[in-house]
Structure 1
């Protein structure tokens, strides 16, 4: 029986099905990249209608755009910070550089607890905050929020620490992470996600969860997702629904009309299972879990907006076949830029601090460089690209604690 309120809720909307058919009719191909396919099936319906109208007007440009979602914009690789082998890539990868801190002239407040400091160039950089980790441990009573098991536990980010500088202040040669999200989800929704993170950043209690080590590993591989349901008026209780996500193989292209499958499961990929250690019950899809705090000011619950963002992007990750980790470096791809990115990812995993490197600004946006005709419904202001119209988060992140 089709799920109408879980991971598959969007797939069975008759209007969406009609728009996806219209999109296929508009494009000169039956298949698109798996990440673009996943975003289409999970997008906000009004934004999907805008995409269809643009594709009908400029079908070749939209083929390039959908390819860029997989290669240049890197929605899923950016969110998960995992790289696929070169042989599995659907399009040639554009050289990329590590995310770097934007210039900042703002002084760091005395006693700041968000893990900020200055590098050798005077830029404000972000390090992992032990103070906020401790607040997360206190809020969650030093127990895994899922299994209720005690220490040892780890603190996991919802919006990844490795994406701490993805704040749209850096000019780049391709669509940014946030620009790409605004192509599929409403400006109001994406702005809410963005404003939940910036300018405060990743190192806040409301962006952290306490998880058992194996649950943390499953989280960063998008083996499961948490759907935020409700938060109490006093902000002391947050209810979420747990869903296992299947593991799909990564393929070069997916038929646009292929309806995704995210069934209710009682285990994750590779026989992954979780149990409530207090009751012995297996944690299956649709289990409701309550998160609580005794002090919503000092130890706030996870932010509802950031959890909603995770709910969408974990499903995109699972649907597109990008959930499994891959090697950072490959013998057949030894460009300096890709080596630098791999080293940056590894550095983020093993040290509290960041490289002291200066920012390099790109000369133009991806759409300026590759789309000679402006796509209908797209407006450009400065280096930001948005859609006209429209309606109304597991990284390899956190160190294992010693």
Structure 2
């Protein structure tokens, strides 16, 4: 058993889940960018994207706003509140497939009096039915994942119930091609393309809950994300995870290990996709869009329920 001193040193060595927020160069680039783009307010989604964007992309945006640059207007427009960035984060917040969401909404509406709760229209109304080939590929991937991890949850050590977690939200894989293009294109402004074998260690973090804001001071510096969280709040209730093998609660900084006996037939999770997931999960958390209502995210269309997503002209 490790000594208390060693244990304390390990806890102190836990890296911040958002080290980008403390980078002086990032602070300077964001200040230059919003000044050059003549923006004093941003929505919290755009604001969060800037704080987790690749520095090289921020530098390019600043250069595009340079003196006499013809691209300054385009940068200003891309940093203004837009439907494409909102759709990206709104879609990323949805992890369950269409059928499960529709059933959940039916159950919630039957048990709830008063105004209906938020619905994720982007997922419910723009999905295509999977082809037989896609269904077969999904079934194969699920089977290989189950076999690789011995039907055991890597996080909790439980064998039942176990749900296979998709790195890329399930609903995104079923979206119409034009909607998928609208999902990927905004990411290129903030992250480089390249961000897109027997064991793999990943570090687990609980992320804090923030409120969505439609207008936020463009130069506001985010508060630091705690590196010592041991749970979160879901629907107003404290939530924790426990590992049954260690009989300990899962805390920020804990290491999770994926293993495989055959990296060719049962590959480990893609590092590129995990990296993308890590960035977008933090953008989602910092932006506060996780629990934002459709009325908050799409105020111009809240009075026309459903019509926004049903027309190709809207994309």
Q: TM-score range by the shorter chain?
A: 0.7 to 0.9
Provide the residue aligned with 1:65 in structure 2: 78
Provide the residue aligned with 1:226 in structure 2: none
Q: Which runs of 4+ in 1 moved over 6 A?
A: none
| Alignment match of 1:282 (pick from 235, 245, 249) | 249
Flag the structure with higher strand content. Answer: 1
Once the two structures are TM-superposed, the CA of residue 8 in structure 1 deviates from its matched residue by 1.7
Provide the residue aligned with 1:187 in structure 2: 193
Distance 1:309 1:64, change over 3 A: same
Provide the residue aligned with 1:263 in structure 2: 226
Q: 1: distance between equivalents of 2:194 and 2:63?
A: 20
Partner deviation per Cα, 1:267-324 (whole Å, 9 max, x = no partner): 1224221111111111111111111111212211111111111000000100011223
Q: 2: distance between equivalents of 1:331 and 1:337?
A: 9
CA contact 2:15–2:253 (8 Å) conserved in 1: no
CA contact 1:97–1:337 (8 Å) conserved in 2: no
Partner deviation per Cα, 1:118-166 (whole Å, 9 max, x = no partner): xxxxxx7657733322221121111111011121111121112211156
Partner deviation per Cα, 1:166-196 (whole Å, 9 max, x = no partner): 69xx457x9722211110011333xxx2xxx
Provide the residue aligned with 1:316 in structure 2: 283
CA contact 2:89–2:289 (8 Å) conserved in 1: yes
Q: 2: distance between equivalents of 1:276 and 1:54?
A: 49
Provide the residue aligned with 2:303 in structure 1: 332
Unaligned 5+ runs, structure 2: 1-11, 96-100, 102-114, 296-300
**2:168 counterpart of 1:140:** no
Q: 2: distance between equivalents of 1:166 and 1:45?
A: 30
User: Superposition pairs for residues 38-57 of structure 1, below 5 Å?
Assistant: 38-56=48-66, 57=69
Provide the residue aligned with 1:370 in structure 2: none
TM-score normalised over the length of structure 1 = 0.58
Once the two structures are TM-superposed, the CA of residue 335 in structure 1 deviates from its matched residue by 4.0
User: Superposition pairs for residues 219-230 of structure 1, below 5 Å?
Assistant: none
Provide the residue aligned with 1:348 in structure 2: none
Distance 1:322 1:150, change over 3 A: same
Q: Which segment drifts farther, 32-41 or 133-142?
A: 133-142
Q: 1: distance between equivalents of 2:302 and 2:178?
A: 31
Q: 1: distance between equivalents of 2:59 and 2:188?
A: 13
Flag the structure with higher helix content. Answer: 2
Aligned length in residues: 269
User: SS of the residue aligned with 2:205?
Assistant: strand
**2:213 counterpart of 1:242:** no
Distance 1:135 1:175, change over 3 A: closer
Q: Which segment drifts farther, 255-264 or 240-249?
A: 255-264
Distance 1:4 1:134, change over 3 A: closer
Once the two structures are TM-superposed, the CA of residue 253 in structure 1 deviates from its matched residue by 1.8
Once the two structures are TM-superposed, the CA of residue 24 in structure 1 deviates from its matched residue by 2.6
Q: 2: distance between equivalents of 1:244 and 1:171?
A: 33
Distance 1:177 1:335, change over 3 A: closer
Alignment RMSD (CA, Å): 3.7
Q: 2: distance between equivalents of 1:141 and 1:47?
A: 41
Once the two structures are TM-superposed, the CA of residue 263 in structure 1 deviates from its matched residue by 1.4
User: SS of the residue aligned with 1:269?
Assistant: strand
Once the two structures are TM-superposed, the CA of residue 81 in structure 1 deviates from its matched residue by 3.1
User: SS of the residue aligned with 1:278?
Assistant: coil
Provide the residue aligned with 2:9 in structure 1: none
Provide the residue aligned with 2:159 in structure 1: 150
Q: 1: distance between equivalents of 2:194 and 2:46?
A: 21
Provide the residue aligned with 1:300 in structure 2: 267
TM-score normalised over the length of structure 2 = 0.73
